[in-house]
Amino acid sequence: MTSNDFSSARGTPRHDLKSSPAATVSAGPGPGPAPADLLRRLRARGAADPVTHVERVPARAGVPAPWPSWAPAELRTAFTGRGVVAPWQHQAEAANLAYEGTHVVVATGTASGKSLAYQLPALATLLADPRATVLYLAPTKALAADQLRAVAALELEGVRPACYDGDTPRTEREWIRRHSRFVLTNPDMLHHGILPGHAQWSGLLRRLAYVVIDECHTYRGVFGSHVAHVLRRLRRQCARFGATPVFVLASATSGDPATAAGRLTGLPVTAVTEDASPRGGVTFALWEPPLLPPDSGSSSPVPPQATGDGSSPSEPGRATGDGSSRSAPPQATGGHDELRQVRRSALRETADLLADTVAEGVRTLAFVRSRKGAEVVAANARRALDDAVPGLGDRVAAYRGGYLREERRELERALLHGDLLGLASTNALELGVDLVGLDAVLICGYPGTRASLWQQAGRAGRSGQEALAVLVARDDPLDTYLVHHPEAIFGAPVEATVLDPANPYVLAPQLACAAVEAPLTPADLALFGEGAKEAVDELVAAGALRQRPTGWYWRHRERPEVDLRGEGGAPVAVVESSTGRLLGTVDGGSSHFLLHSGAVYLHQGVSYVVDQLDLADGCALVHAEEPDWSTHARDVTDLSVVSVRSYVDAGPVGMFLGEVDVTSQVVSYQRRRIATGEVIDTRPLDLPTRELRTVAVWFTLSPQSLALAGVQPADVPGALHAAEHAAIGLLPLMATCDRWDIGGLSTALHQDTEAPTVFVYDGHPGGAGFAERAYGTAAAWLRATRDAIAECGCETGCPSCVQSPKCGNGNNPLSKPDAIRVLDVVLTNLPG
């Protein structure tokens, strides 16, 4: 079922909820309409049908298996009491492999019960051996807390499960070290707390039977490479205590999970991939917000992709200041012209849909790309619901990183118990938190990978009921491409997880951490893999390690500071000036963009203005205020080529892969009227520069080839700039990344290449594998880029093709027709 009439989509902004065709507004989570009926109602509420495609994912019956003979009766009874009559076939297969001592990864769909696959052998071993222990690792605190609830609910004597993370009170930590036999934590705490204090954790490590790594597909890029070495450090300490634990990994469906799990753990891993669990049917709609009238201005209180997140890397930009450094928030957009919306904001569209579904009594989770975006969607949905039924807006909230522990736990409880009907969340709730009873999922913008898309869509329908999933497209080249090419979503395999433990920017600091824990030996170097000896030699030359006959020793008193997640330093506390109350935190890499002096900061719908950012003390002082303007940081970026790894000589075109140095600095911010997007003023900032050595792919063209293609010299900067924006937007089709993982720069004459050049680079120190993937698939990547620009219906370029939501140079200059000519020259000459 598709809709191809896009010419009529120039409708008016969406309805007022009070005039909705819905006859009643539900006050509680009733059964709600069927997904197909709900979608029909949602489609009918606008002036034109926004749905470009509907995919029906059919229901599936489950294939049960008998309980393993080694599972004790006590454990089977506990699971049966929680409603698990028998395991599904994939659960039993993975559990048997793990119990027999085989390292295993179970890679099946959302809500397929992967947790039973590791709980069964782990808990059976704990019951059989009163001295055995289990370590469980989750990428988020919410997931670990959810697993703690699940294990504790089994009420198994002697297991004593406990969460050990940054929120754990110090009074409880000693008890956990001494008594808990099932410790649930995260890689950060393993890195910062358990491994450095391995002597205090000797009881756990000496008797460690299983290491469970949940949602292991999230360990990709630089973060995944760091975690890979943290796991090698764990294996090293276990071996020193005489333990050889079995690794059991759980992953969303992904390409080649055995290889990825093996790269993560450094061990041979067997994959279980046949999903035997039952699944309710899913109605999956692709939703393109309507075009706005040319003179309507902005209908949104924030720019359309004002996602405001610093938790994921972003798109640094051109030499003229297009974009930002690695941690720039997506709201770092350009000037007033960019705010003249071509399409209705995906944030506003998602907020309206969330209000509509809550009004229908449908329990809904809306995934939003960023922290600020989640706040905006929740605030707009609450406002619409309160206008219709005063007080109903209280049934909607935001959920994101940076909240205090008490806030997060209360929101999780309220959603689980039905006190909340709608939640706007970042991907913090994408993972396996058991949100039973959700009826619909709204996905505001393509999350970057098909794996994440299906993971988010799978949050609904977890009890086997029919579910609705809606992908709301942003005005972005990739989103526009996908909603008009549904086969790229529904007909394509899920991506493989990309990580590179040999990245020297990861390997060297991890070896330093290992040397602090115990002197390195030649045998250890084999454990850490390719490049370890070279990295150790560099650490010796730098004076960090001292070589002795017994190994390499750490020379300094302080431990090395290693940030696993690459977020740019320690979190910055957000403190209310008048009361001293801690509101939350922002990662250090985002602080220049989100917490500069004068910035507007949102927290649970309340607006604050930053008085002062103290980077030395890691603190931002704010006061409550609701100005009629928003703030948008701007930066300048420069790039120099360090070395070339590989290149293709294609006559007038060159394609290169190599190392580059990127220097960026936030230099100013704009204040814009919320109602109109009008730029009030631009104010200077004095913040330190940031430097990044990373990996880039770039192509050069001869001036003669551009002239022959009809690109005039004056139009070359706009042509390259437009091609760069679109290429960044389309790269996630080829690599396991999203556009916030990568950066770009274009120039008509680069000082190192001495030619017109477009660079696209990884936004992480040392690279994350994305540029390599782009280089390896250059022809296909740039062909898709060229097609996306050519197929867009606009005349001069828009956010759906060549404009960037984060262009620090105000999306100027841009030339859509000349970008097509540039890419034609590249594709004509590049082998393919």
Tokens 């080829």 correspond to 734
Over residues 628-658, the pLDDT tens digits come to 888 988 888 899 999 999 999 999 999 999 9
**Which tens digit of pLDDT belongs to each residue from 551-563?**
999 999 888 988 8
Mean pLDDT of 474-495: 82
User: Quick one: DSSP state of residue 450?
Assistant: H
Residue in this structure with the two tokens 């507007």, named with its chain if needed: 600
pLDDT at 783 over 50: yes
346-360 mean pLDDT: 94
Q: What confidence category does residue 584 fall into, taking pLDDT thresholds of 50, 70 and 90?
A: confident
- pLDDT greater at residue 252 or residue 661: 661
* pLDDT, tens digit, 9 for 90 and up, residues 249-274: 999 877 789 999 999 999 999 999 99
pLDDT of residue 26: 41
pLDDT average, residue stretch 298-312 = 31
Is the predicted pLDDT of residue 312 greater than 50, yes or no?
no
pLDDT, mean over the chain = 84
Angle (CA) 500 223 781, round 5°:
60
Candidates 304, 284, 605, 308; CA nearest to 442 is 284
> What is the band of 29 on the pLDDT scale with cuts at 50, 70, 90?
very low
User: How large a percentage of the chain has pLDDT more than 70?
Assistant: 86
Q: Using pLDDT thresholds of 50, 70 and 90, give the confidence band for residue 413.
A: confident
Helix (H) or strand (E) holding 478: helix 477-484
**Which tokens hold the place of 463?**
């009890």
- Coil vs helix vs strand at 338: helix
Cis peptide before 493 (omega within 30 of 0): no
CA nearest neighbour of 419 among 352, 363, 360: 363
pLDDT digits (tens, 9 = 90+) for 599-609: 998 887 788 99
pLDDT of residue 432: 52
* Cα 93–Cα 99–Cα 101 angle in degrees, nearest 5: 110
3-state secondary structure 184-221: EECHHHHHHHHCCCCCCCHHHHHCEEEEEECCHHHCCH
Task: For helices 221-240 and 504-517, give the axis angle rounded to 10 degrees.
Answer: 30
Residue at 678: amino acid letter:
E
Tell me what pLDDT residue 738 has: 62
Q: Check: CB of residue 655 under 8 Å from CB of residue 648.
A: yes
Mean pLDDT, residues 471-487? 86
Q: Which helix (H) or strand (E) holds 469?
A: strand 467-472
Give the pLDDT confidence score for residue 470 in this predicted structure. Answer: 97
Interval 418-432 mean pLDDT: 78
Question: What pLDDT, on the 0 to 100 scale, is given for residue 806?
Answer: 64
Say if residues 327 and 320 touch (Cβ distance below 8 Å): no
- In the predicted model, is pLDDT for residue 756 greater than 80? yes
pLDDT bucket at 808, cuts 50 / 70 / 90 = low
Mean pLDDT of 25-51: 75
Task: Band the pLDDT of 99: cuts 50, 70, 90.
Answer: very high
Q: Which amino acid is at 415?
A: L
State yes or no: pLDDT of 326 exceeds 60.
Answer: no
User: For the residues 381-410, what does the mean pLDDT come to?
Assistant: 86
pLDDT digits (tens, 9 = 90+) for 170-220: 889 999 999 999 999 999 999 999 999 999 999 999 999 999 999 898 888
State the DSSP code for 67: P
Q: What is the pLDDT of residue 350?
A: 96
In degrees to the nearest 10, what's the CA dihedral of 395, 398, 399, 403? -110
Read off φ and ψ for residue 136, nearest 5 degrees: -115, 130
pLDDT of 25 above 60: no
CA 822 vs CA 319, 736, 772, 790, 831: distances in Å: 19, 26, 22, 12, 16
d(CA 499, CA 721): 29
Confidence of residue 567 (pLDDT cuts 50, 70, 90): low
**Which of 239-253, 345-359, 483-497 is least confident?**
483-497
Average pLDDT over residues 798-823: 82
Question: What's the CA gap between 200 and 194, in Å, rounded?
Answer: 8
Prior bond of 290 cis (ω within 30°): no
Which residue from 806, 741, 799 is spatially nearest to 774, judged by alpha carbons?
741
pLDDT, tens digit, 9 for 90 and up, residues 140-159? 887 898 899 999 999 999 99
pLDDT on residue 566: 66
- Number of other residues whose CB lies within 10 A of the CB of residue 171: 7
Give the mean pLDDT of 342-346: 80
What residues form DSSP beta bridges with 535?
none
Q: Read off the pTM.
A: 0.74
The whole-number pLDDT of residue 671 equals 92
| 3-class secondary-structure state, position 89 | helix
Q: Which residues pair with 743 in a beta bridge?
A: 761
Q: What percent of the chain lies above the pLDDT cut of 90?
A: 54
Is the Cβ–Cβ distance between 226 and 562 less than 8 Å? yes
Q: Which amino acid is at 429?
A: L
Side-chain-side CA neighbours of residue 91 (13 Å)? 27
Name the strands in the sheet holding 182-185, side by side, starting at the edge strand that comes first in the sequence.
161-163, 182-185, 133-137, 208-213, 246-251, 104-107, 270-272
Distance in angstroms (rounded) separating the CA atoms of residues 813 and 756? 15
Residue 335 has pLDDT above 50, yes or no: no
Q: How far is it, in rounded angstroms, from Cα 386 to Cα 380?
A: 10
Six-digit token pair at 1? 């079922």
Give the per-residue pLDDT at 32: 66
Tell me the two tokens of residue 310: 């610093």
Q: Residue 386: pLDDT band by 50, 70, 90 thresholds? A: very high
Please say if the pLDDT value at position 824 is more than 60: yes
Q: 338: pLDDT confidence band, cut at 50, 70 and 90?
A: very low
Residue 317, pLDDT above cutoff 70: no
